[in-house]
Structure 1
Amino acid sequence: MMLLQTLLLFGTQALAYIRPAPHPDSHITRSGSELQLNGKRWTSSGANVYWLGLDENVIPPAGEPFYAPLNASYPTKGRITEVMTTLNVMGARTIRSQTMGVSVGNPLSLMPELGKVNEKAFESMDWTVYQAKKFGLRIFAPLTDNYDYYHGGKFQFLRWRGIDIKSTGTLDPKVQEFYNNRTIIDDFKNYIKILLMHRNPLTNLTYAEDPTIFAYETGNELGGPTFGDKNVSAAWTKEIIEYIKELAPTKLAVDGTYGINESHLNISSVDIFSDHLYPVNIEKLSKGVAAVGSVDRVYFAAEYGWTPPVNLTDFFTWIENQQNKTKPIVSGDHFWSLFMHNVPDCSTFVDHNDGLALQYGNPKNPAHYIAQISKIRQHLFKMQGQVVQAESPPAPCPGE
């Protein structure tokens, strides 16, 4: 009721964009280099919202779950709901979220200790899936992380098996044990099984069954001892993707290597290859798309930096023009990254320390940020085949 009242306060202009997408119970499929929904081309542009399962940016009220050493807490339901309303107003179709797949190694994680499951961690994840479906959004999530952040990743799996190495700079070659050590691979697969077999009480579907989660990614920006080396075992990638599809035959699979690893192009079970663009670079983008197109798969620009003076116009135009081709190859792009209010406080925006937090509708946004956000919104609607004006309507804050 409160959400409806809030929507009404913003008038019919905002309400015009708060509508679910068609066929929420149908799975996204792939036909060659094209994603499809019920046999028709489906594009996949949207946002990274990495904190939906577990956050690091808000200190919760006293008594709420909080792990101070890593500043970890669960986002409120109101924050999650507001993100869905905002993305709907912005014209997004998809959300990429690390913590909807990666959650290991601290007391609030899905797996705080090897083999131990923290059911509490599923609550924010379940609410995210439930709300995304209501607002016609789809989710894809990496299953591990190349880095040693608060939500965990490959270094945690290594530590659990006695390989405790530094996680910055040029790494100890033993980091490759994550891809090569049978015990660690099986630990990771067990984690994947726990995640995908979880039944969401709000939907009565397992994550493996739910079409709202349309894809899983082997990891976030995966590599080897040297940053950007793409040194990820093809055998490991094939095994993990085939395991995802064994558990969840309707899911699409994304190669989570940081960049297009050409030695992975012949892995037939990979549906989507992706790259991250900091800054946006059309030459790099076009080369990646050409490589992926050569094996008739789909390409995602899964992350890009959006803040000025980045030239988004040429970047968006290039991607939009591909949609006019018989084989588009590049299905979409996802800006990094969305933050909104500290709900239930609808007056304070949450910030993040990387300088790339997009706060839609923040009255403190400078003019050049507002212009850039408007371009993103117009592009997201254009990827759905719709043209909208530069003026951005408000996104309601649910206040609860």
Structure 2
Amino acid sequence: MKSRVLVLSLILLIQKGEIFVRTEDEDGFIEREGVHLVLNGSPFYGNGFNAYWLMHAASDPSTRNKVPTAFQEASSHGLTVARTWAFSDGGYRPLQFSPGSYNEQMFQGLDFVISEARKYGIRLVLSLVNNYEDYGGKKQYVGWARSNGQELSSDDAFFTNSVVKEYYKSHIKTVLTRHNYITGVAYKDDPTIMAWELINEPRCTSDLSGNTLQAWITEMASYLKSIDENHLLEVGLEGFYGDSYPVRKQYNPTSFQAGTDFIANNQIPSIDLITVHSYPDQWLPGSSNEAQTLFLNQWVNSHIEDAQNILGKPVLFAEFGKSYNVSGYSPSERDQLYNLVYSAVYLSASGGGAATGALFWQLLTEGLDSFRDGYEILLSEGSSTASLVSEQSEKLSSLRKKYAG
């Protein structure tokens, strides 16, 4: 824990006629103490959301206003954490044109996202690359290496090829040492960023033992921490169990293998924060709502138990949701899923356990129809799900005040 002097003064931030009120005890880096996240010595619990589109929208003058609108709507529902992409590799409107070559307009979009998040009291989890080819991902990195003469047979070479790994390390360094053109603060020094994420949903099906990913996470986590010791670091895992704890494999989706190992991967010392994703409608296609609910209950609770008793680190449910595009969908079933995740998080947190929050997938605001995917929540619509989100925010806020007092 870094020592700090807290000054209980008010900071007034004025932009476009709006006044934002913050107290300095809301500033500072979020840190880990055992199974808890703490902010200035008090437990931190984050109710939040995913909005991967933030940089993309902010870099376009015609949609830039959607970012503060989304943050304002989120803040009005008590949300305090947002997870978003700090990558867009190759292709249309990239952040990274090619290895080491960056699009300043996109980077300034990310600068704007970070600046606006601070005004609304929202902390950011920034993901550094995608496992999938959406927005480039490991496929693009491997493609760049092939164009540079590397003979690579699989996209999983992202995790093993020395040239590809140097490309990725260069991206880590570029993002972490970036100075925000609005605030002048380097990303690695900005407490608005809660955590870095190495990769969104890593999978390495060419090595189901998990050894390849274990080595990659170890190397990249150590490299990132050599540049930035201020911020929390998480992998971006979905939570699938592996060979290091075979008794837990019964809780994985049936016959599912991804080359990840929830226990081993998170035991790496440089990893501070554990993540879990939860999509029973995707992982158990065609199954009944009852079967999906049973699976989710076991999935959520087993991961909280393991974070508490085996790993000794806080756990964040970094993605969860239910799509209205799946046959048989009903709003009440979506609410049931949200309630299950939220209740498990609160039960753990209120008992001093390892659960630190949950981020639903995904938040949208009006006018962003191209980003609809069936999971989106528009808080402005005032749905029953939006009410559940607000209720969870209030419960976690009350909990933090109780422990702080």
TM-score (norm: length of structure 2)? 0.77
In structure 1, C-alpha distance between the alignment counterparts of 2:321 and 2:365, rounded to whole Å: 17
In structure 2, C-alpha distance between the alignment counterparts of 1:358 and 1:4, rounded to whole Å: 28
Deviation, structure 1 residue 173? 6.9
Q: Is the 8 A contact 1:197 1:206 kept in 2?
A: yes
- Report whether the alignment pairs 1:379 with 2:398: no
Mapping 1:135-284, distance limit 5 Å: 135-149=120-134, 151-162=135-146, 174-225=154-205, 233-260=213-240, 261=261, 262-279=263-280, 281-284=296-299
In structure 2, C-alpha distance between the alignment counterparts of 1:155 and 1:377, rounded to whole Å: 38
In structure 1, C-alpha distance between the alignment counterparts of 2:42 and 2:307, rounded to whole Å: 21
Deviation, structure 1 residue 54? 1.6
One of 326, 329, 347 as aligned partner of 2:354: 329
Q: Is the 8 A contact 2:141 2:167 kept in 1?
A: yes
Mapping 1:9-88, distance limit 5 Å: 19-20=21-22, 22-55=24-57, 76-88=63-75
**Alignment match, 1:15:** none
Segment of structure 1 superposing worse, 29-38 or 260-269 = 260-269
**Residue identity in the other structure for 1:40:** S
For residue 131 of structure 1, give the secondary structure of its aligned residue in structure 2: helix
Q: Is the 8 A contact 2:126 2:197 kept in 1?
A: yes
Deviation, structure 1 residue 255? 1.5
**Alignment match, 2:289:** none
Deviation, structure 1 residue 148? 0.7
Aligned residues: 338
One of 313, 318, 324 as aligned partner of 1:302: 318
- In angstroms, what is the RMSD of aligned CA positions? 2.8
Deviation, structure 1 residue 27? 0.6
**Alignment match, 1:360:** 379
**Alignment match, 2:105:** 120
For residue 47 of structure 1, give the secondary structure of its aligned residue in structure 2: strand
In structure 1, C-alpha distance between the alignment counterparts of 2:130 and 2:370, rounded to whole Å: 22
**Alignment match, 2:302:** 287
In structure 2, C-alpha distance between the alignment counterparts of 1:225 and 1:76, rounded to whole Å: 38
Segment of structure 1 superposing worse, 370-379 or 224-233 = 224-233
Taking a change above 3 Å as real, the CA distance of residues 214 and 162 of structure 1, as seen in their structure-2 partners, is same
**Residue identity in the other structure for 2:157:** E
- Report whether the alignment pairs 1:95 with 2:82: yes
In structure 2, C-alpha distance between the alignment counterparts of 1:112 and 1:93, rounded to whole Å: 32
Taking a change above 3 Å as real, the CA distance of residues 267 and 3 of structure 1, as seen in their structure-2 partners, is same
For residue 274 of structure 1, give the secondary structure of its aligned residue in structure 2: strand
**Residue identity in the other structure for 1:219:** I
In structure 1, C-alpha distance between the alignment counterparts of 2:54 and 2:42, rounded to whole Å: 29
Segment of structure 1 superposing worse, 255-264 or 268-277 = 255-264
Deviation, structure 1 residue 129? 0.6
For residue 302 of structure 1, give the secondary structure of its aligned residue in structure 2: strand
In structure 1, C-alpha distance between the alignment counterparts of 2:49 and 2:375, rounded to whole Å: 12
Taking a change above 3 Å as real, the CA distance of residues 142 and 75 of structure 1, as seen in their structure-2 partners, is farther
In structure 1, C-alpha distance between the alignment counterparts of 2:95 and 2:376, rounded to whole Å: 26
**Residue identity in the other structure for 2:271:** V
**Residue identity in the other structure for 1:272:** L
- Report whether the alignment pairs 1:339 with 2:364: yes
Q: Is the 8 A contact 1:241 1:269 kept in 2?
A: yes
Taking a change above 3 Å as real, the CA distance of residues 161 and 173 of structure 1, as seen in their structure-2 partners, is closer
One of 105, 111, 126 as aligned partner of 2:90: 105
In structure 2, runs of 5+ residues without a counterpart are 1-13, 241-260, 281-292, 324-330, 401-405
Deviations, residues 187-207 of structure 1 (Å, cap 9, x unaligned): 100011111111002111111
In structure 2, C-alpha distance between the alignment counterparts of 1:284 and 1:160, rounded to whole Å: 37
In structure 2, C-alpha distance between the alignment counterparts of 1:232 and 1:380, rounded to whole Å: 38
TM-score (norm: length of structure 1)? 0.78
Deviations, residues 248-271 of structure 1 (Å, cap 9, x unaligned): 110100022331522223211111
> Which has the larger helix fraction?
2
For residue 271 of structure 1, give the secondary structure of its aligned residue in structure 2: coil
Q: Is the 8 A contact 2:238 2:278 kept in 1?
A: no
Q: Is the 8 A contact 1:74 1:124 kept in 2?
A: no
For residue 87 of structure 1, give the secondary structure of its aligned residue in structure 2: helix
Deviations, residues 197-240 of structure 1 (Å, cap 9, x unaligned): 11002111111111101210111111013799967511210111
In structure 2, C-alpha distance between the alignment counterparts of 1:3 and 1:229, rounded to whole Å: 54
**Residue identity in the other structure for 2:146:** G
